[in-house]
Amino acid sequence: MNHTILLGKNVEVIQCSNRYEVGIKGLVIEDTKNTIKIRTENGVKVLIKNNIILMVNDRKIDGNLLIGKEEERIKRM
């Protein structure tokens, strides 16, 4: 039973279909069904989980596996 926890973790974007979003780093503030809110040096950014590959805790995770609210993701695994 391992579902990834995102709230309060430091996160970096490795790959994205939007080339201007690659390299964004920060702390996760909010975690909704399809998006993540990150606080960076330049302000708060909203990222879409569909087309992203993240680096969390020194592990690569695909954004498609993280879709859904946290209470729904606990059931899944």
Partner 1 sequence: MGWKERKATRKKVASDRIKELLKFSELHKDDELLSTNSIKTAVAISRRHKIRIPIKSKRKFCKKCSTVFIPDKTVRIRTGKGKITYTCLNCGHIKRIPYLKEKKEVKNKKLEI
Tokens of 68: 């859904």
Q: Please, what is the minimum distance in Å from the beta carbon of residue 5 to partner 1?
A: 8
Q: How are the residues of the chain apportioned to helix, strand and coil, as percentages rounded to the nearest 5?
A: 20, 45, 30
> Which part of the chain contacts partner 1 (CB under 8 A), choosing from 13-21, 46-54, 59-67, 68-76?
68-76
Q: Please, what is the minimum distance in Å from the beta carbon of residue 38 to partner 1?
A: 12
Residue 37 CB: number of other CB atoms within 10 A?
A: 15
- Residues of this chain that interact with partner 1 (CB under 8 A) are 1, 3, 5, 7-8, 29-31, 69-72, 74-75
